[in-house]
Structure 1
Amino acid sequence: MREGFDYAGGGAEIDPVPPRATPTFWQVGHPPTLIAAFLYFDLAFMVWVLLGPLAPEIAKSLHLSAAEKGLMVATPTLAGALLRVVNGLLVDRIGPKRSGAISQLIVITGLFTAWLVGVGSFAGTLALGVILGFAGASFAIALPLASRWYPPEHQGKAMGFAGMGNSGTVLAALFAPGLAALFGWNAVLGLACIPLSLVFIAYLVMAKDAPNRPAPKALADYFRPLQSADAWWLMGFYAVSFGGFVGLAASLPIYFTDRFGLTPVSAGYCTAACVFAGSLVRPMGGALADRIGGIRTLSAVFAIAAVALAMVSVAPGVVSALLSFVVAMLALGTGNGAVFQLVPQRFQSEIGVMTGLVGMAGGIGGFYLASSLGIAKQLTGSFAGGFLIFAGLALLAWAGLFVVKGQWRAAWSTGARI
């Protein structure tokens, strides 16, 4: 009788249903779109800062002053900053994939025309800089393209991986000076169209808009996030972290050639080392922010960046300056990933326009740093003043985190660390 009872299950223990394994990062979202966003962003950033590595040769050819050199390399940054808002609007209206295709066609056409016609004046470099601004504005397209596929707990990694495309600045620093020495700097503009065209084709094949795209809003609604102080704080933090990164990426070839007399090729290698450091850690910054919180990550970022930039201002030689720049770029690259771990937690439904607004602030920060270094050099004969002022801005950002962290942690509830 007992045996029958046991066989029927009356006395047996019932095994609990095993918990379902949490999907890993690569099991959620849409990896082909993530890779397409990275490739698009990478090549766009390569040409966005192209005038920086070419600046020593362009300045020699066109007889530019220190202030003109600074403004030349800063113009793409400013144009990219303003165009990011336009791209943010396009992303929410027509979708990120189509917006990215339009932007890439504009950049390829502009570079090809500049190579064909030639750039023979300072005004011509500024006009080219405006066209290259469309490449810098890719930020407001590539990140929403990737972000919309991923849940909140994976936003830091997704945005960090796509945002690692800022490593394209390494490609410009590594290859542009050498190609300019071989073929002339104007030829580099045409050569850049080759990889851009290949990535454009891959983008069309691989990228796909996420199915949960928000419905288009009225034009006034796109700027509604600016009514929130949180938006301004995030923009300010990114103006320092990304502004420092891209401003240095554009200016370091000029710094190393003018300050230490390096050849353009050697200055390009030094710049590439610095930029590679900052690009490499961007996804790590997002992952670190996922783990310990964006605010805690940014607190360390701004403190380290301020100290490193202050050390640059008094660096006596190439080695000490290079080491200080690498430390600064490691911190700033980490900060770029951390800021964009926070943005979707607060503005998920407005991620397109907020990416544009925050990216615009970052571009303005980069324009300020690049142009101020040129002005400081022309007025005082030294770059030190420009670096010290930006170090002070990093300290202000660090102090700002202590103002907002209590309120953000209390008010935001997304399941991710703040």
Structure 2
Amino acid sequence: MSTAPEVATHVPPAAADHPAVGAAAALLGAYEPGARFLGTPTRTLLGHGVHREVPHDDRPVATRVAATLAAARDAGHPGPVVVGAVPFDQHAPAALAVPDTVRSAPPLSADPLVALPAEPPARAEWRVRQVPEPAGYGSAVAAAVDRMWRGEFSKVVLARTLELDAPGPLDTPAMLQRLARRDPGGYTFALPTGPGRTLLGASPELLVSRRGHRLVANPLAGSTPRSEDLAEDVRRAAALLKSVKDLHEHAVVVDAVHRALAPHCGEVTVPAEPTLVRTATMWHLSTTVTATLAAPETSALELACSLHPTPAVCGTPTDLARRVIADSEPFDRGFFTGMVGWGDASGDGEWVVTIRCAEAREESLRLYAGAGIVSASEPEAETRETAAKFRTFLDAVGVRL
């Protein structure tokens, strides 16, 4: 990445001998609303100000980003990097910009200070509304399963939301602290998406990253909730690795990623069997796909756009699954199941699937969670899965369903 690493000046003196100690935690602590924070397993970024926004027009989003980065460089920006979010519908307006300044540090997972617990959320009376209600969501799942048994399509991802109203202004920096410190090895973000709006989340899923000619994608599909009981937690993990339903769902997604990357690559390596990835709340089936880029001018964002939406967030066949989503979900997904990330003028970057997220306004939050529906899905189980996925964010605000 073209931005030079910077160690924050207020690292504790005892950590000064090792630049990784305290650097990422300092950037996390320096976040304030309106800034752009992104923590990944390779780096921590904090952007301030707006040097240039990516315009919304009829050109593909990757083309607009490349033009914006080139214009920023031509205008004298020393190391332009675009940071932000692309919605589920790539034709809708994105929230992407080249910040005036970007500070970078090693990843949060490499900083011992991130292990220190965040301040717990204050007790508050939140008003919670489920959209749709669990019964309505279960009915939508049952209807989709019935259509699958009739052979109309093979998978669809259906989501539901929680609308939370707070008794006062939201403390988004405190929420970000809790998200990041709970899963420092994942992808944590806080990005402005409009006046008074912030997209916050902690996603476990890398869509694609590019560093030179090397590409990595990490599709996740097939999941089960974690348990606080260690023996039960291990049992659930082992059962997920043997679940015929989840293994089939995962294989469909991995195959789609392979097929989408193949035209851009000279070599694609796909492991024969998935492994497990865990977050604080979920176990996921995971496959790390690696590839060698054939054309060096193809950017990380171009690759991300060719992959998106994968069957992990939409379904298959894609166009029909989109229509089922539009007919079944009583809300606009917005940035949920879109992409968040960064990209530089050389084409390198990291783009992440926007899940385990919420959109924050002054005194309200909208949380999103979805589940992959296949012919073997059961409405009650899929409703429980979405409830478990909500826990990532509910724990950050101190709310229980």
Instruction: Tell me the TM-score normalised to structure 2 length.
Output: 0.24
- The structure with the greater share of residues assigned to strand is 2
Instruction: Tell me the TM-score normalised to structure 1 length.
Output: 0.23
- The structure with the greater share of residues assigned to helix is 1
Higher relative contact order (CA 8 A, sep 6+): 1
Task: Return the index of the structure with the highest Cα Rg.
Answer: 1
